[in-house]
Structures are given as C-alpha cells and as structure tokens.
Amino acid sequence: MFVIVVEDGLDLLGIAPLVIETRWPMRIARFMGAGMLDYGVADHCDFVVDDAHEESVLTAILDELLRKAAAWDILDLHQVPGSSPIITRWLEDIDRRGLSFCVDARSPSYQIDLPGTWRDYLGKLSGNTRSTLERKTRKLASEHELRFERVEDVARLPAAMDTLFALHTERWNSRGDPGIFCTNEFRHFHRDLASSLLEKGWLDLTVMLADGTPVGAIYNFAYRDTVSYYASGFEPNPEWDRYSLGKVLLGHSIRAGIDRGMAVFDLLRGDGEYKSRFAPRLATNYRLRGARKSTVHGLYARVQQCHRLAEAPRKSLDRVWILVRHMNGAGPDGIANGGGQKGLNDAMEIATNWPRSQLHSLRDRLRQALTASMTAAPKRAVKCKGIPNEAPIKNPSRTIITQATPNLNNHQSLTIWSGLPSLWAG
C-alpha cells in the first residue's frame, strides 16, 4: 500500500489512497479497489480532500508522489469522476511540472437528480416507463402480500446479506455469468463493509418479500445527500418475470430516497439499458496515466496488452465453466436452475475463434463438467471483459476550474507523509 496523508497539525486535510502493484517489468501506482484491467470493486475513485484546502492539498500530494518517484514507474488512476478535482484542477499542475500524461474517457455513469416528491419524479419519466412502473408495482401488490424491509438492526444484517448474495448470484448464473459476489473473499469484504456502513448510518440495504418469501434485494450506500446503487438481485424463476421485479425494486429504492430527502440517486458506472429509463443525467469516468518520461506510456500499453492476452483464455474458460454448470441444471452451489441448450450455445460461441490447443483444453474440461457431480463451486469465476482501446489522448484540452484557496505553505505545522497504513492506523 502507498497511502499519502496531508495534515495541518491535528487536522486531516487530504488522503490519496493508493497502492503500488508490480506487473513485470513495471510498478504501477493506482487507487485501492480500482483493479488493474479497468475492473475493480470501486465504481468512482478519487482523493479525499478538504474542500477549503483543495488546491494546496492536491499540490502536496503531487509533491509527495514525485519525492517517492523511485518507488513507481507510472501513475494509473482509473474511474475518476469528471467532476473530480483530479480532472478539473490537478492536471494543470501535472502539466506545469513537465510530466507526460494522457486522459481518456472510460465508463459512463448515470445519476438521477431527485425532486422533492415522488409525484414530481414520476413526471420526469416517459409515459411508458411511468405506466409500467406503477402497473407492475400494483400487480405485484395485488397478487401477493408485498413488503419491503430496510435493514436497520445489526442482528438482521447477516441474513439480509445472504439473501442479496443468493438472489444476485442466481440471477446472473441464469444468464451464464458469475455475478460479482462469486468469491468468498468478495463476500467477506462486503459483509465487513456493510457492517461498518450500518454502524455509521450509511447503509441502505432493502429486501423485497412476496408472501413472506424474499424475491429481491437491493444494496445501496447512503452518504450525505446521495444514494449510490451498488448491486441488486431478484428471483430468476420465469414465473416472476411478469412482475418486472428489478424495476419495482429500483423504483421503490428511488422513492425511499426521495422520502428521506436525498438529492441524488447515483446508478454508478455501467451503461445498462434499463438505467436510461429512470430519467438520469449522463456522467463520465476518466482514466489518467502519468509518467516522468513519455516513452513509459507506450511500454505500459504493451505490458497491459500482454497481460490481457494472457488472461483472456483463462477468463473465457471460467465463463464457459459457469455456462456448462447452468446448462447441466446446477447453480454455484449445485442448485438446479435450468439453462438447457442456450448454455451450450453460449459456451460454444465464446470458443469459436480459439486455437486448437485451447479447444482441446475446453473439450477435456467439458467432459469433466458433464460427468462430475456438479456440487462444487468453480475454482475461479470472473467477468469477461473485452480489451478496451488503449490509444491515449495526450494532454487533451480541458476546462480548468479556478477558485481562491488557502495556501498551506503558510501553515508551519503542515505534515505530509506516506507509507503503510500499519504505521498510522490504530
């Protein structure tokens, strides 16, 4: 880990939560949780900065990065929101220092500006979306005893998280994908995170029940005036399709946010078609890469491409494994859930252009899968991602927001330091 902390006496003014990861032959400084290949836990990554000292704190962070330049080769910051001071202000300082950098647009994200009432929000929707949302909710409530339970008691949290994990995983497995909660490590991480968020009042986890049975769950973060929608799951059985459980669940969550006086409902990154129906505004995340020498950019792009090519066959095989398990009628825990010929077709489509040696490996793995008991979870299940365009936009034109900020150089007690969290975390 490589955490930079800026303090003024006892006042914490800024944190740059970075890690240094080695991908031979390079050392990459990146955000915690952002991942190496443009996929990670966090949907938005940024420095934590006191608004009143923004400019000087950003300068201090860059000074420290340059002072420790021997520890890293390239700075690669993924999923930076367009509104971040990293984009609006920090680039100017990087350019002034003579560093080579490039910025390119990455993931779109959607954010809903919440009005004062639910009726006002419905007025922002298209007639078709508004009608569908109200009709499906009434239909579900009229045919079943519908209830929404928001977790506010720590004793109910473990069962609610289990429900979320199960419904999310079953839903994605029915489509031939593992979902995001496919590893024990990731589930343990979110159990701990949810517990901490609940303690601080920042957790917004709701289970939807029909006749007392959980049929949906939505996992949000509620901080200040923003609700951030992270993940959800709902009953994949086709008999529930007529209720549009996902729309009903998301609609209820948006309505609850309005009732609590929240200003923004952030659908986070990803361009799922359903998001555009909920009257959002489009935002963009960016990727910033910076290095002391321009030649490093070209080398880094080559290194990333090699790592992606090395990862692709294994990731595709893992996805085929999920599809075959689904085809054979078993979910991640051996639970029958259908699938049939579609799973085989999808698996073969993935393998169409593979070299013969990889097809032989796939053939052997398929044989094992079809004769196994299908009760053990796959060793590794990760989402397949295409190789994004690595062509950078070098020193792009940009809008720099300027405003007066205090000069921290006048504070004699200012301290800037970095190192392992164990050196300073209690």
pLDDT of 266-281, one tens digit each?
999 888 888 999 999 9
Q: 336 lies in a domain?
A: yes
Question: What is the pTM (predicted TM-score) of this model?
Answer: 0.71
412 pLDDT band, cuts 50/70/90, is very low
Q: 381 lies in a domain?
A: no
389 pLDDT band, cuts 50/70/90, is very low
Q: 378 lies in a domain?
A: no
290 pLDDT band, cuts 50/70/90, is confident
Based on the fold, state whether residues 43 and 96 are members of the same structural domain: yes
pLDDT of 120-175, one tens digit each?
999 999 999 999 999 999 999 999 999 999 999 999 999 999 999 999 999 999 88
Number of helical H runs and strand E runs in the chain: 11, 13
Based on the fold, state whether residues 217 and 294 are members of the same structural domain: no
Q: How many domains does the chain have?
A: 3
407 pLDDT band, cuts 50/70/90, is very low
- Host domain of residue 249: 115-262
- What average pLDDT score do residues 39-53 get? 87
Based on the fold, state whether residues 257 and 223 are members of the same structural domain: yes
Based on the fold, state whether residues 233 and 144 are members of the same structural domain: yes
Q: 185 lies in a domain?
A: yes
What is the greatest pairwise CA distance in the chain? 72
pLDDT of 307-361, one tens digit each?
555 555 555 555 555 555 544 544 444 333 444 444 445 554 444 444 555 555 5
Q: Supply φ then ψ for residue 352, to 5 degrees.
A: -55, -45
Task: Say if CB 416 and CB 4 are below 8 A apart.
Answer: yes
Q: Which of 29-43, 48-62, 251-265 has the lowest mean pLDDT?
A: 29-43
Based on the fold, state whether residues 159 and 181 are members of the same structural domain: yes
Task: Say if CB 398 and CB 103 are below 8 A apart.
Answer: yes
Q: CA–CA separation, 305 vs 126, rounded Å? A: 42
User: What is residue 104's predicted lDDT score, i.e. its pLDDT?
Assistant: 87
**DSSP letter, residue 69:** G
